[in-house]
Amino acid sequence: MANKPDVAAAILALFLKRKERPIKEALLENDLRQARKLVNGGSHGLAEFTAAFRIGESLLPVKPVQLVVSVS
């Protein structure tokens, strides 16, 4: 059942909502290792995640940490 896109999306949304606060706190501290650990349980793929995060961050007019502070 979780292989259906709508079910998978709902599961992901629920998972991220439950981890929202600690993920935001890790990002506020610029602790991408901890943010990654909260999402996947470890640091596997940390280098790729960090690179992708930094690229995405550079493309935004407002830094993600500013967004985290403003919506908390």
Extents of the domains making up the chain:
20-71
pLDDT confidence of residue 69: 56
Positive or negative torsion for Cα 32, 38, 39, 45: positive
* Contact predicate 39/19, CB 8 Å: yes
Q: How far apart are CA 4 and CA 42, in angstroms?
A: 26
Q: To 5 degrees, how large is the angle CA 18–CA 33–CA 19?
A: 5
Q: Indicate whether 4 pLDDT > 70.
A: yes
Q: What are phi and psi of 29, to 5 degrees?
A: -90, 5
For residue 2, pLDDT over 90 is answered with no
Give the per-residue pLDDT at 61: 83
Q: What is the pLDDT of residues 17-68, one digit of tens each?
A: 999 999 989 988 999 999 999 999 999 999 999 999 999 888 988 776 665 5
Q: What is the pTM of this model?
A: 0.72
Residue 22's pLDDT is: 95
